[in-house]
Structure 1
């Protein structure tokens, strides 16, 4: 039995997953907890609204820019190595962020933390692809989804507890310090439990060897894609004007140039480009990635909006905002691992059901806002909506993640994971900006209840596109199964 096989069975797999998923938990908890901590950061540091926007978006920008190059680098030179470096960078910058004396340093550390997270996340997907197969891989992605759901939901609760228990200038610092013990434990676990693999692309330790190694990373492709992502995301984060629109269009042009460059490079040598474009000819990868990307285009914004609604609209505490989000975590904890076990058998159907549940959850949230001005008003309706949202997350993330990677060659796993994650981060940043902009635009003329109602309906429209993509993915999977059965029957004859 090979090392890969031994690592995909029994106790070793549990240890490997603990090592892989601890820093993922910290990196995602950092996003959700900061949403609740923004008012405390504003008071404690005297931050402006632009400063606060960069606290959220700067992290997302750096994360989105670094994912694909980091995934490719892990494929080339060792995923374990880049996982350890990324985890260490994330831990150090979280510690520095906690002691930031001003908004400038805080945002600089958030950008650096985003780069650290970008280095480690693609390696998680690549190592799961290498170490797990069959149902074990589905269970691994199911557990990954559980960690994502728990991190997103428990982050606001922990932030609320810390902020309510401490002063304004101390509570938000404790929120960032939470990442340090988690990532420190992850580093120890990774050193002890992550297997070491022989480098698939060894590079001699000479100047010529180093140059060839850099060429393998496709520096021009990495540069074009990175600048393109920055140009697309910057207008959403900071420059919502004509200049910003021109920068965004320039980013789209650079994306086209990146595509043409990768295509030309791939025609000469399939291993030369940073991203082999044959990846997008895999229907399972493109369809299922589309589902989860469209899901992330709308859904993350709801956490920021609900936090604002509960604290500013209803006048309740940060702790209450965190408690209202717990039903979502509960659904993910209960269901995600079970979903992972069943992906190979009924994954496409669960993907459709999850997308429909996401759409319904936003209608329930809109109803909760509508009922706020009636005798049936209750914050419990908001909790119910987020519980249904947790159901959708438990069904979508492990299903889409497993199905999208099922036909991807192991040698391309890091880059493939980086592309999908990068697209998710870009649409998350854009969606977050659009959703919060809609909320505050409506709020300027009406009240918080109306703002939440309109925002929920806007997100429900975005979720409809995810439903359509899920139906398309399910139909394609059904067609592939029919072809496979037909080929089996034909060969039997």
Structure 2
């Protein structure tokens, strides 16, 4: 009887290393996640270019137009944390499919809306659905990838998000050109429906079923979720209602509610955890310098970025009289350079860390200053091209901000908390979107309202409006840069904290 020789230990397959099939399935699941994230983020930027068309088609006023943009962000922010928590505890795949299905249905309602009131309602529903699915994307990336490979994954993720954010206005302009100035805006929502249906099929087939929730921590703090929702709502609502045209000053009283509900939420969460239960938000996450500082930087950065695109779109269409498709094209350089920079940023972040983010913020600041100077100083015929140069510089910096910062922010977060940690960061970004958009756009419109009827014929009025609104944007980028420098200094001096469950 012949004895079969044993395989040397060195030749044995490593069970901890995924095989080719597992590796392929992991990246296929990742492709589904980033595809849906791109679809979600597109709706934050492509709709901006459709606002003049919606205004003409449905007779929308400034408040309604603000709600279409910032109301989406408000609803997005309200649903993020409870959805992230449910995904962590139960099933990220299930929550992903629920959110994507609701997003597709809401897009259909937006496309068919016969009045501005119904469009705003459907848009808010769409924001809720986006908030359900987005934290699952971040949680799944945390779950699927580890170590250096996670940086690579977030590099791809950042590239896709950068392209989606910056290419949205161009895509929106093309769709309006195809559909016509009266009802072309409806195509902005019709495009989501076939893409959403296809994505649902692939999500069910490819996303992992397993959850990473530890045993014994599967309860849901419903009262804490309500308090957090009221906190977010009362923070964001006064900014959502800020248009710069006859706003009710009493709206700022909602911030009193923000302080009251926020204090009650912190008290309740600490009491809930002291009873041995798992709270909605583990405040110990904020003991991580990487998570805390990265979340702050992203929040302030996203105060500035969506406001930049909206201000630029309004200026090009209303001030220079460009068609939506041409106004949207000005952002293409930002889309292309941010995608390339984000791809390489994901690979370089392990080597350069926070320094890469600081470099990115410096480039964004330089690009935005160039963008402002191009808008107000160049001859009218050359202005869009000169603004494109500013967008190119800013996009290069933006690519070094988004994906490296995301990698650094979540690097030390336990995988089982990936969804809720990512959703808290997204809450900051959506709150930042509402606050930054309100501050910049209300400044823009207040100048035009102060000029009265002269604004329609006087480009100098739009120069002043764009300049004043853009001062807000540049100030926010400077704040983000200061935060990045402070974090870089803390890392160099070793003043960082490790995660603790205490």
2:321 aligns to what SS in structure 1? Answer: coil
Q: Distance in 1 between matches of 2:341 and 2:406?
A: 15
| Residue 220 of structure 1, aligned match among 218, 223, 237 | 223
**What TM-score results when the alignment is normalised by the length of structure 1?**
0.91
Cα deviation, residue 241, structure 1: 3.4
Count residues in correspondence.
472
2:345 touches 2:403 (CA, 8 Å); kept in 1? yes
1:38-96 Cα distance to aligned partner (Å, 9 max, x none): 11111222222222121112211110101011111111111111011101110111012
- Asked whether 1:268 is paired with 2:281, we answer no
| Residue 148 of structure 1, aligned match among 142, 161, 168 | 161
- Asked whether 1:257 is paired with 2:264, we answer yes
Paired residue for 2:477? Answer: 463
Matches within 5 A, 1:301-320: 301-320=307-326
- Asked whether 1:64 is paired with 2:77, we answer yes
Paired residue for 1:338? Answer: 344
* More displaced stretch, 191-200 vs 22-31: 191-200
- Asked whether 1:356 is paired with 2:345, we answer no
Q: Distance in 2 between matches of 1:149 and 1:196?
A: 29
Paired residue for 2:248? Answer: 241
Q: Distance in 1 between matches of 2:478 and 2:111?
A: 39
Cα deviation, residue 3, structure 1: 8.8
Paired residue for 1:86? Answer: 99
1:370-408 Cα distance to aligned partner (Å, 9 max, x none): 313x59953222111111221122011111111011111
Superposition RMSD in Å: 2.3
1:135 touches 1:344 (CA, 8 Å); kept in 2? yes
- Asked whether 1:167 is paired with 2:180, we answer yes
**What TM-score results when the alignment is normalised by the length of structure 2?**
0.89
2:281 aligns to what SS in structure 1? Answer: coil
Matches within 5 A, 1:375-394: 377-394=382-399
Paired residue for 1:179? Answer: 192
Q: Distance in 2 between matches of 1:482 and 1:95?
A: 48
Q: Distance in 2 between matches of 1:360 and 1:168?
A: 35
1:122 touches 1:418 (CA, 8 Å); kept in 2? yes
1:183-211 Cα distance to aligned partner (Å, 9 max, x none): 222212211211211574689xxxxxxxx
* Structure 2 portions without partners, runs of 5+: 1-13, 452-459
- Asked whether 1:326 is paired with 2:336, we answer no
Alpha-carbon spacing, 1:252–1:241, altered in 2? closer, same or farther (3 Å): farther
Q: Distance in 2 between matches of 1:57 and 1:362?
A: 22
* More displaced stretch, 220-229 vs 467-476: 467-476
Alpha-carbon spacing, 1:9–1:141, altered in 2? closer, same or farther (3 Å): farther
* More displaced stretch, 147-156 vs 415-424: 147-156
Cα deviation, residue 416, structure 1: 0.7
Cα deviation, residue 2, structure 1: 6.5
Q: Distance in 1 between matches of 2:365 and 2:22?
A: 37
2:376 touches 2:463 (CA, 8 Å); kept in 1? yes
